[in-house]
Amino acid sequence: MGTRGPGVTLDAFTDRYAQRTHGMTASEIRALFAVASRPEVVSLAGGMPNLSALPLDAVGKLMGELVQTRGTQALQYGSGQGDPQLRELICEVMALEGIVASPEDVVVTVGSQQALDLVTRVFCDPGDVVLAEAPSYVGALGTFSAYQADVVHVAMDEHGLVPEALREAIAAVQASGRRAKFLYTVPNFHNPAGVSMVESRRDEVLEICCSAGLLVLEDNPYGLLGFDAPPTRAIRSRSSGPGQQNDDVLYLGSFSKTFAPGLRVGWVLAPHAVREKLVLAAEAAVLCPPQLNQMVVAEYLATQDWQGQVSAFRGMYRERRDAMLDALRQQMPTGTTWTHPTGGFYVWVTLPGDLDSKVLLPRAVTARVAFVPGTAFFADGSGRSHLRLSYCYPTPERIREGVRRLSVVLEEEVELRQTFGSTGISKPSRPQAESPSPDLA
């Protein structure tokens, strides 16, 4: 990096970067972290799991004992595919969602984010199409963009991905002479939409993809965090013939939301042949996933009441979801609508009239509340009339206060627009105590 003149930073390497870096730009969530982490701001933006309910003493003891008793293994390189004992336990975790799997077909990854990266690396050439829900998880969009894949969004409604829209998208991609490689879907407690794909659509979506020769990338970090009902059967568990589960589905899992994101342990379940490629790609990237972290997760699953812990997480998140939905109902201006999640971390809000979430964000931060504008979740820059609220991290009191602050900002904007019309209103109606961070521009 070089600098020219005050405040102007030039990147002296620009003409030497690979083509693929052109799609690598900082996500809006990342830019937000700097601002939203100030204590005076109620952040309804980031999706950080709330670890306050974790039994830290027990986890600390377990980690200490691991190093003392099996330190030479725990601190050593391990297998590129991941620790065999952990892979067996992962199969037991997946069985809770109806998946029958062999540890042979599981590859442990550095969070499910690395699984997204490996799968895209293995399947996508530049210009290949990935079908993805509208909206989609921002981290997945970043990965697809880094591999120069083109995202074609497929509509969702309150029951999840719309099968008819999927058929139409596949036909449109075929008609344009391009090749779609897979459908990326988050069927449970969607990030950011806060909805789940209903049972009946899961078979239909799978059938549509299979007949079009498309793989399904089923990303399921929130599946065990349902508030009202046992987990819905995974798409991966659906039958493709008598006694056989479907091999056209690559399933991604993670311990980030059910245990601890800092350990960075996730996995991908893939058909045998694909698994080989994924392991080679993983070895090229990281040699092997961190052995100590994998052994911590394995020990935690084997010796602690981890399902009881997940149940405690569910209770905590349910209370926060209730606080957010109550506050939204009481405070939001007429015409605002939102989803009603039955699990997970997120509520997807649709703004009234032609309000623009990107324009609103700096004002919201001035009013000491943060959210993520809907545009972060679309590859094509759409989504301005939406925003994502997370209820996972703040206390219920902070959530209520955050929604109250947001509702004031929305009310003011609605009033301004009624008074001055919809164009060109950027004048803040209250004195700005502090200017919003340039990060948010």
Q: Shortest approach of ligand PLP to residue 113 CB, angstroms? A: 3
Q: Is the CB of residue 43 less than 8 Å from the CB of residue 309?
A: no
Q: How many residues bind ligand PLP (CB under 6 A)?
A: 14
| Shortest distance (Å) from residue 376 CB to ligand PLP | 12
Q: Does 291 bind ligand PLP (CB under 6 A)?
A: no
For residues 376 and 158, give the distance between their C-alpha atoms in angstroms, rounded to a whole number. Answer: 20
CB of 229 to ligand PLP, least distance (A): 20
Find out whether 185 and 197 touch, Cβ atoms under 8 Å: yes
Q: Measured at the alpha carbon of residue 153, what is the angle toward residues 185 and 140, in degrees to the nearest 5?
A: 50
Buried b (16+ CB within 10 A) or exposed e, 401-428: bbbebbbbbbebbbebbeeeeeeeeeeb
Q: Which member of 142, 194, 221, 373 binds ligand PLP (CB under 6 A)?
A: 221
Cβ atoms of residues 299 and 66 within 8 Å: yes
Q: Which residue's structure tokens are 């659906």?
A: 238
Binding segment for ligand PLP (CB under 6 A), chosen from 91-99, 106-114, 301-309, 320-328, is 106-114
Nearest to 378 by CA among 213, 156, 215: 156
The span from the CA of 92 to the CA of 254, in Å, is 13
Closest CB 191 distance from ligand PLP, rounded Å: 4
Give the tokens for residue 428. 């803040």
Among 137, 259, 267, 338, binds ligand PLP (CB under 6 A): 137
Give the pair of three-digit tokens for residue 313: 């997480």
What is the C-alpha separation between 217 and 180, in angstroms, rounded?
12
Residue facing ligand PLP at closest CB distance:
111
Based on CB atoms, which residue is closest to ligand PLP, 191 or 375?
A: 191
Stretch that binds ligand PLP, among 110-118, 141-149, 193-201, 307-315 (CB under 6 A): 110-118
Per-residue binder mask for ligand PLP (CB under 6 A), 26-55, x = binder = ---------------------x--------
* Residue 387 backbone phi and psi in degrees, to 5: -150, 155
Q: Least distance in Å: CB of 222 to ligand PLP?
A: 7
Q: 80 or 261, CB closer to ligand PLP?
A: 261
**How near is the Cβ of 138 to ligand PLP at its closest, in Å?**
8
**In the complex, what is the shortest distance from the CB of residue 221 to ligand PLP, in angstroms, rounded to a whole number?**
5
Positions that interact with ligand PLP (CB under 6 A): 47, 111-113, 137, 139, 186, 191, 219, 221, 254, 256, 261, 266
